[in-house]
Amino acid sequence: MPGVVAFTSNIEDLSTQEGYQFEFRCMRCNNGYRSSFHRSLFGFGGRVAAIGGGLLGGSLGGDVESAGWNSSMLMSGTGSPAKDKELAKAAQEVHDRFYQCNRCGKWVCRDVCWNNDRGLCVECAPKLGEETAFMQAQAQRGQLEEKIQAQDLTQGVNYTDQATGLCPSCHQESGGGKFCQHCGAAMAAAPTATKRFCGNCGSEIATGIKFCGECGTPAP
């Protein structure tokens, strides 16, 4: 009986009718390696089968079948004993470039995602030097943000009147001041009329009215 062939989920089969090749990727950073391309016994794209199906019934056909191939395998690149052997070779070729973390089960690349001191991947056991540098940078960013927030950076910015992003006169960016930075047009919105109320009964008094319409008290 043929032996079993170990495989993992980080393998992509790039084999074609011309030959065999496999891609192995790190399950953390997605970096990877491709195995060497090995041309198949019928590396001319399975064209032997295309010449005539009768050939597979003759002496050539016997050779093909003994190699573990049939016409379907030859044309589609599906599994075969020959392909199993090539997969085993490819796995051995990249064996030293990947480690499997016994804690999370992921296959990760040796150069970036493996903590050699801990014998685990860097997700399960982060490298302390890199983690310290990351935390320091995060802390510096937070402290810098706090210091910037404490500064008054609004001098010269008109934040009391209604703001507009584009100048209504020249339609360019206003700059955020009282006048457009491009054409000098005033950016302040027209003042809103102040409402008036009767000092006696509290009723609202319209603009231009001199006496309260409810109690006759002179308007303010």
Quote the CA–CA distance of 120 and 137 in Å, as a whole number: 25
- What is the DSSP code string of 109-149? ETTTSEETTTTEETTTS--HHHHHHHHHHHHHHHHHHHHHH
pLDDT tens for each residue of 126-185: 999 999 999 999 999 999 999 999 998 888 776 676 666 778 788 888 777 778 888 888
What is the pTM (predicted TM-score) of this model? 0.52
> Which stretches of the chain score pLDDT less than 70?
1-3, 5-7, 42-79, 158-159, 161-164, 188-194
Instruction: Quote the Cα angle for 96-101-105, to 5°.
Output: 115
The per-residue pLDDT for 53 is 42
